[in-house]
Chain A
Amino acid sequence: MHIKRAKIATAVSAAFLTCAAGFATADNTPSLGNDPIRIVMPYGAGGSTDITARIIAANAAEHCGTRIDVVSMPGAGGMEGLQFVADAEPNGHTILMADYSATITQTLTEETDWEVEDWAPIVHLTDWKPTVYVKADHEIQSIEEWVALAEAEPNSLVFGHADPLSLVHLPLVLLEMETGIQNVHLPTTGGGETRTMILGGHIDLGMTLPPSIVSNVNSGEVTAIGVFADERSDVLPDVPTFKEAGYDVSFEAPLLVYTYSSVPESIQQELSECIMKGLESDTAQTMSTQASAGLNNVQGLESAQAIYRDTTVRVKEVLAAINEE
């Protein structure tokens, strides 16, 4: 915790330094102008998304030619942050950073002033890999054992995940569609509560993102049995993917930077390029490694748009399947 603080402090002070640099080089990129850019983040301050946003702010400013501020707006389940970006003047100075829960799932399931297509992804930062895990002494220790037990006794296994329809719940729904198995779905307050319930033996399985259980896996308290991704996770290299186990279910959660679609395409392109340039710098890569932000394969506009379209299709499929039930 203490160390993480220090990192944020480093990132923040680096941001201040780059601000100064930003003003000096501002004349080189006149199209974005000198007004500061705001990255709105629909989550609370201090989380992993926050750190990623601050890495962008610290490193992209000199390339974008102006200061970059990070604004945390967790109000109304994140919808206040999206509303703020949607209402802002479409000049590219108010942009959004979020995973698909806010821009796709909540947009599809709630009444909003925008459609999924109104968000224009410009940078694809990283992919989070939802991971299923159990207590180390649980009778289930692999994907195969889970599926076998769930087939033998439907609805006997309790599966803890964070909010319903969140990125650590939808993959479970997809797997159940694929295999026909049935589990008891237990929403929790988040990764922390899921982990406590697993450790206390109150529930059988849980889903989370790898960084939050790495230390428990390494200490032998829990076993990660499978990852819903095309490739294994860097931090949990011994854990197989569900594809390896023969189930064609992969549901990585892309973390994207968006503008609202009314922002002119030239500005979208320009922002995308200057953020990419900033994140490719050595400082940004060092910061990312320190903070486990996973920014080692940042992709630009085309990749971001493609993955956003893909994810939208998948989310719509899962939601439709849920509604049929």
Chain B
Amino acid sequence: MLDLIIQASQLAFHPYVLMYVFLGVLLGITLGAIPGLSGDMAIALLLPFVFFLEPAMAMGLLVGIYKGGLFGGSISAISFGVPGTPGAAATSIDGYQAKLKGKPSKALHTALYSSVIGDTTSDLVLIFIAVPLAAIALTFGPIEFFALYAFSLILIAALSQGMVAKGLAVAAIGILLAMIGRDPITGAVRLTFGIPGLAGGLSLIPVLIGIFAISEVVFQGAKLWRRKVDKLMDDVAEQASLLQGYDISKDQLTWAEFKSTLKATYIGAAVGTFIGALPGAGQSLAAFMSYGLAQRFSKRPEEFGKGSLEGIASAESGNSATAGSTFIPLFAFGIPGSATAALFGAAFILMGMTPGPSLLSDNTEIIYALFFTLIFANLVNLVLGKLLLPYYSRIAMIQPGYMIPAVFILAIVGTYAANNSTMDVWVLLFAGLLGITLKLLSFPLAPLVLGFIIGPGAERALRQSMIMGGGDWWVLVKSPIAIGFYIAAFALILLFTLALRAKK
């Protein structure tokens, strides 16, 4: 064990790996701070290039981007009231108010510290839980896996931004898209409409990039262009007036203030870690839930929504605390619990590591190195975040006109390079178009991608179970573990529905 830790730390603390972590965090904070761009998008765009890096370096880069992005989103949320990432939406409630009250530095620093604390908590839980869980995972056969897939799919769809019907609908579209290609059991080609290029199914990378990058950039860009530019200009004017008479020395976060936010931070860390571990629940749900809980337990709940530092701390810590625990289902079962985890899963596969029960036993060293990197990246996030804060509050001003062509070019080149396939480029454009359409109709996109990723596994597990059970449907409830999952899915949905009702 000691040997392993030494070897893993040698891998993780190699100068090049450290460099990639720095680069990743820098990129992540930068992209996260720009509304419309996110860490997920950067990871999706970088996927094809992962293969050309050593696994430890690639991991460092991706982890850095992810963590930087989680915090970066709060910069524009606080500075402009425009959340840079969906997870930062709750942060913007109190963050923007605090900034308008002339406390941008306090707000940003609170966000940074609570983000790092929440994230680190979550990573520690991942490190100590993923290993024992992976051992249990071997007891999962097709029947148990189908129950777990069903549990995940139902939760993913039901929990997406409180739109149960729309969530289920897009998850179904995702599953349907995933069924194009080869039948997993008979090997027959299906749903290709006679297009030979579709015989192998839609590739993951163009679908991911199309849904996340293309549609997001086009949509955000168009929105910013048409409506938000005016608003942003007003904000800048407002900010300028605020800055007159603004004294940075009076806007330092004091130790007493920091301590007063700690309770909210811990609540966020606990809630975020728990929600993050559930497949499909996601950052924004975690942020809003911890915000709500922190308000209930706060000594000054009346300040929430009016620039409360506790409000910022709980939201940001809840958002960031999903970072580590979202990998638990991926590491233990090979099921990505979030879009980010799905992207990391794809990266693992490109590096020759298969997510699932054997991930840890087959790649012990590199996974332990990843654990070190996860913790280390938090420190980098803290340091870089502190250094960059003064400059980055202005980054939300980058014109979408420069962003869109850059992202488009990266997306197309990256997609083609991954498989040398022109078909994939068409899939990318189609996925982008589908994403834009669904967004315009205000459907959530995450369930689609998760449905697309989980669909084939669920179908295979179902049909494997049926083959093993000789075609008898009762085989699906013959396992106590499976029954447990069905009950848990039902109970959780009930719980969340009631909680949402109570909030309204």
Contacts and interface: CB of A to CB of B under 8 A. Distances in A.
Interface stretch (B23-31, B350-358, B372-380, B441-449): B350-358
Interface in B345-368: 350-354, 356-358, 362-363, 365-366
B358 A78 contact: no
Contacts of B357: 196
Contacts of A164: 185-187
A80 B141 contact: no
Contacts of A187: 184-185, 187, 460, 464
A143 B324 CA distance: 46
A72 B185 contact: no
A186 B467 contact: yes
Contacts of A195: 358
Contacts of A199: 138
A110 B421 contact: no
B424 interface: yes
B197 interface: yes
Contacts of B424: 75
Interface in B451-473: 460, 464, 467-468
A161 B353 CA distance: 20
Contacts of A309: none
Contacts of A45: 51, 350
A72 B419 contact: yes
Given A110-B189, A184-B467, A46 B51 contact: yes
Contacts of B203: 75
Given A5-B54, A45-B51, A110 B199 contact: yes
B169 interface: no
B301 interface: no
A80 B363 contact: no
A73 B140 CA distance: 33
A4 B200 CA distance: 28
A2 B358 contact: no
A180 interface: no
A76 B142 contact: no
Contacts of A46: 51, 350-352
A318 interface: no
A196 B138 contact: yes
A283 B351 CA distance: 25
A200 interface: yes
Nearest to B56: A2
B352 A76 contact: no
A77 B420 contact: no
A80 B197 contact: yes
Given A1-B353, A45-B51, A186-B467, A200 B200 contact: no
Contacts of B419: 72-75
Interface in A192-234: 192, 195-197, 199-200, 202-203
Given A72-B419, A186-B467, A4 B352 contact: yes
Interface residues of B, number: 45
A189 B460 contact: yes
Contact of A186 (B197, B200, B468): B468
Nearest to B144: A202
B47 to A, nearest CB: 12
B199 A77 contact: yes
A71 interface: yes
A81 to B, nearest CB: 9
B89 to A, nearest CB: 37
Nearest to B369: A2
Given A192-B358, A200-B139, A75 B467 contact: no
Interface string B121-148: 0000000000000000011111000000
A75 B197 contact: yes
Interface in A83-110: 83, 109-110
A76 B358 contact: no
Given A46-B350, A46-B351, A200-B139, A76 B356 contact: no
B464 A186 contact: yes
B196 A79 contact: yes
A83 to B, nearest CB: 7
A109 to B, nearest CB: 8
Contacts of B141: 197, 200, 202-203
A80 B356 contact: no
A163 interface: yes
Contacts of B142: 197, 202
Most B C-beta atoms less than 10 A away, residue of A75, A109, A164: A75
A51 to B, nearest CB: 11
A83 B196 contact: yes
Given A5-B54, A196-B358, A78 B200 contact: yes
Interface string B175-187: 0000001101111
Interface string A150-168: 0000000010000111000
Contacts of A197: 141-142
Interface string A10-51: 000000000000000000000000000000000001110000
Contacts of A111: 196
B493 interface: no
Contacts of A186: 464, 467-468
Given A2-B56, A185-B467, A196-B356, 8 more contacts: A1-B351, A46-B51, A72-B420, A75-B197, A75-B419, A79-B199, A80-B200, A189-B184
Q: What are the nearest 5 A-B pairs in CB distance? A: A202-B141, A77-B200, A75-B421, A76-B200, A164-B187
13 contacts: A2-B11, A4-B352, A73-B421, A74-B200, A75-B420, A77-B181, A83-B196, A158-B467, A165-B187, A186-B464, A187-B185, A199-B138, A200-B141
